[in-house]
Amino acid sequence: MFNEAFVCVDTETTGLLAHKDRVIEIGLVRVENGKEVDRFHTLLNPGVTLPDIITEITGLTDRDLVGAPKFADIADELASLMDGALFVAHNADFDFRFVQHEFARIEQDFAPERLCTVKLSRTLFPYERRHNLAALIESYGFQTDARHRAFEDALVVWNFL
């Protein structure tokens, strides 16, 4: 696997439904031949008010996002960073669906192959009771400065791999 390019991705969103909610933050680490070659992180202006629960979880407020770019503004750079790479995320379907919907809103296709590190953890460590990101951080002593922030969580995924 480490001979292929992959991108560890995490998103923070306005909710749980990719077809209606929006990405408010994206972070990624691109890896080629087992070495980190690029990083990307940005807040995104979703064009909607953040629900209170999202502010509680992420610490992000509407004020933080007001001057942030819209997804369309970063889409080309993001597509370039992800080009030819395996999309890797913890609960990959969630993050993938959100990114895919954001690209679809600007009429661009997005369909990389993906790897879910939740499924990988369950396969490698079936005796563990929990496989969420918090459990991995605790079990393996990963360091993170900010949980539920996209770039920090993407780094945890890379550390897990």
Which residues are tagged catalytic?
A: 148
Distance CA 101, CA 107 (A): 9
As a three-state string, the secondary structure of the chain is CCCCCEEEEEEEECCCCCCCCCEEEEEEEEEECCEEEEEEEEECCCCCCCCHHHHHHHCCCHHHHCCCCCHHHHHHHHHHHHCCCEEEECCHHHHHHHHHHHHHHCCCCCCCCEEEHHHHHHHHCCCCCCCCHHHHHHHHCCCCCCCCCHHHHHHHHHHHC
Name residue, tokens 């992959």. Answer: 6
